[in-house]
Structures are given as C-alpha cells and as structure tokens.
C-alpha cells in the first residue's frame, strides 16, 4: 500500500514537471511571437529582408519607413499623403565627417540605405516646405555601397508641392552612389523649387537613372541658381537612359544661373545620356549672365583624354527656350561643353549622335545653336535641328 502511494506521488511529480516544462516552452514561444508581432506591427507583413520586404498599405506605414532605414519595402496599395501638411523626407543628408573630402558624402546612419519597390503604385499629394533644407522629396537622401547596393523602383509619384534649398526632387532629393533609380514617374500637377539641384524625379544623382518620366513646373530660386531639369536636376558620373520629360516648365529669374535642361540640367562627367526625349517644355531664364542652357541637357561631357560622354538616340520636340540678351551657350539639345573648374581651360568632351530637335530659342548673346550652343570639343554625328529660323529672328549672334 505504501509502495503504491509512493509510486503515485512519483507519477504525479513527473507529470507536474512535464506540465511545467510545457508551460515554460509555450510561454517562450508566446514571448517570441510577441516580439515578432511587435517588430512587424508597423507594416502589413514581411520581415524587411530583400526576399520578404515589409509591406506598406497605408500612409502611416509609409511614415514608419524612416524607423527602418536599412530594410526593404514594397507598396501594396496607392498612398495619399494629403493628411501630412509638411511631409518629412525619408532619409536625411548629414555629412559623413567634418573632413573637407567628406562634406558631400552622406552619413549612412541617417540616409535611407534599403530598397523600395513601388510595385506600380502611386504616392500622391506630397507637400514638403523646407526652404533651408538639403535633400528633400518623398525620400531625402538615399545611399548604397558596393557590397550593399540600393534601389528605388517601379514607383509613381503625383501632385507634389516641394520647396527646398539644395537637392530637391519629387521622388528623391539626393541619390548617392550604388543606388539605382528605375521606372519612377512624376505625374499630375507638380511644383518644385529650390536653389540648386532641382529635378522632377531626382534632385541630384550619383548613379544610374533609368526609364524615368516626369512632368513638372520647376522654379530656380535666387542668383547663381544651378542644375535644374524636369527629370533630373544635376548628376555626377551618372548614366541617364530611357528617360522622358513629358511636359512642364523651368523658370529662373536670378542672375548667373547655369546648367538648365529638360532631361538634366547639369550632368557633370556623366558618360552616357541615351534614348531620352523631351516634349512640350518651356524654359525661361531671364536674369543677366546666364549660361549652359539646353533643350535636353544644359551641358555635357567627361574630361578623359581619349573618351568622352555619348548623347545618343535622343529627341527634343516642341521645346521653347527664352533667355536674356546676355545669356551664352544655348542649344536645342546641349548648351555646350563645360570647363572642368572655374578658370580652367579644359573643356569637357562629348559626342552627340542620331538626335533631332524642334522648337525655338529666343534671346542670347553668343554660342547659340540648333543642336549644340558652344561645341567646344564636341562632335556632332547625324543630328538634325529646325530651330534656326527663330534664332535668326531673335537677333542673337547664332553660332551654328
């Protein structure tokens, strides 16, 4: 009898230990699930990896991207940002260090360094009013590395009203190295303004910009305004291919403004601009001593001794350029080559092939051409332009 009771107690003890162990395991699982749920509660799904990006379905979820700057994302629905009076760009520009060589290098800790797939969806009604800021747009600063490249792709943006200081874009203010911007469009009624580096899709880029389209009205603020374009404001070592400026205007009223064009105002040392087109664009630069203004790009070229940039298979149609009587280097496709630095006599090298242009140029002092304003070291191959008649009517000293 005693033996039976003892065995029963032992059995109950074993059962009790097993139950406690099971409970501990269940609690651990619940805790882990709770942590996972908490981590993913900002989004509709996904874990933020490249293979399983965070899913975005609401404006609130898009706003949470800034808290996960190194993750991957995909839009699952159109997003309306009209509820945000002043949208704060995702990813900010901050210099990497106080060293002079790092002044224009973004700090990856505060830039967006992930991937964003718009999945064909639209982000609309974006208002940014930061007139003293650098790098503004839906995304402010986006940067990648050689081992971890980034991208913004398959995204539509519409109806933006964006004011910034420098690096102002409808989709991206600053696209730094190892970041591809692909298949991004700016649609609807769009107004952007800033001092330098103002573009409908990208304010200033340092990497590949491909298959992007924009229609926008852009205002260049103040004297020495520069680098403005309907698609891209300025670019450095970027390739721009398959892009279209589909309507709108660029207006600059200050003095000494430079680098203005429909596709890209200032593509510095960009090796290629191919298969791009600009249609129904008005460019008005009315201040004194402005320069390098083109129907496609403001200037072009690289500084290599043996190779230059290539502008190829591009079209400018119904582009109207009006400049003051002191403006120089104005072209239907390219304003001209550019000196490597202020005071330098080293001109950029480029060739322009199989391009055509139609529209008008009014005003200007010298170096004006239907295709290239000031050719410098450029070569022109199989290009055609029908802007000459209006050049003559303007009374300008046309050098064609």
Q: 71-394 sits in which CATH class?
A: mainly beta
> Does this model's pTM top 0.75?
yes
- Domain assignments of the chain as residue spans, ordered by start: 71-394
376, pLDDT greater than 70 = yes
Q: What pLDDT, on a 0 to 100 scale, did the predictor assign at position 399?
A: 42
Contact 251, 221 (CB under 8 A): no
Q: Which residue has the higher pLDDT, 245 or 34?
A: 245
Contact 236, 268 (CB under 8 A): yes
Direct distance between the N- and C-terminal alpha carbons of the chain, in angstroms, rounded to an integer: 118
Q: Calculate the average pLDDT of the chain.
A: 88
What are the φ/ψ torsions at residue 363 (nearest 5 degrees)? 95, -170
- Span of 249-258, 271-280, 375-384 with lowest mean pLDDT: 375-384
- From the list 252, 258, 210, 251, the residue with the least C-alpha distance to 231 is 210
Instruction: Return d(Cα 57, Cα 44) in angstroms, integer.
Output: 7
Q: What pLDDT, on a 0 to 100 scale, did the predictor assign at position 24?
A: 44
296, pLDDT greater than 80 = yes
Strand pairing partners for 381?
A: 353
Check residue 206 and report its DSSP letter. Answer: S
């Amino acid at each position: 009898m005693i033996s039976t009771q003892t065995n029963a107690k032992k059995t109950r003890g074993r059962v009790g230990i097993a139950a406690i162990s099971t409970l501990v395991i269940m609690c651990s699982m619940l805790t882990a699930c709770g942590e996972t749920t908490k981590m993913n509660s900002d989004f509709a799904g996904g874990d933020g990896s490249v293979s399983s990006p965070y899913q975005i379905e609401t404006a609130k979820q898009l706003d949470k991207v800034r808290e996960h700057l190194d993750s991957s994302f995909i839009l699952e629905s159109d997003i309306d940002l009209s509820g945000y009076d002043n949208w704060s760009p995702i990813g900010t520009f901050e210099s990497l260090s106080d060293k002079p060589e790092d002044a224009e290098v973004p700090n990856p800790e505060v830039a967006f360094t992930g991937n964003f797939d718009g999945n064909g969806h639209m982000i609309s009604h974006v208002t940014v009013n930061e007139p003293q800021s650098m790098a503004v747009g839906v995304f402010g600063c986006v940067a990648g590395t050689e081992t971890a490249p980034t991208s913004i792709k398959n995204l539509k943006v519409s109806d933006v009203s964006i004011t910034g200081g420098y690096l102002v874009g409808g989709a991206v203010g600053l696209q730094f190295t190892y970041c591809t911007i692909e298949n991004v469009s700016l649609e609807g009624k769009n107004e952007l303004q800033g001092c330098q580096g103002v573009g409908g899709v990208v304010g200033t880029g340092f990497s590949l910009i491909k298959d992007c389209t924009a229609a926008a009205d852009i205002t260049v603020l103040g004297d020495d305004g520069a680098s403005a374009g309907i698609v891209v404001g300025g670019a450095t070592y970027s390739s721009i291919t398959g892009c279209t400026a589909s309507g709108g205007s660029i207006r600059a009223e200050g003095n000494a403004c430079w680098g203005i064009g429909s596709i890209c105002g200032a593509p510095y040392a960009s090796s290629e601009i191919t298969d791009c087109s600009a249609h129904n664009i008005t460019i008005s630069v009315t201040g004194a001593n402005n320069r390098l203004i083109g129907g496609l790009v403001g200037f072009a070229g690289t500084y290599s001794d043996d190779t230059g940039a290539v502008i190829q298979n591009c079209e400018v149609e119904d582009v109207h350029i009006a400049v003051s009587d002191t403006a120089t280097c104005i072209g239907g496709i390219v304003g001209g080559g550019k000196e490597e630095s202020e005071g330098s006599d080293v001109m950029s090298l480029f060739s322009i092939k199989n391009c055509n242009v139609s529209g008008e140029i009014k005003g200007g002092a010298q170096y004006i051409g239907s295709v290239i304003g000031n050719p410098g070291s450029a070569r022109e191959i199989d290009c055609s332009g029908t802007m000459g008649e209006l050049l003559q009517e303007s009374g300008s000293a046309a050098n064609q």
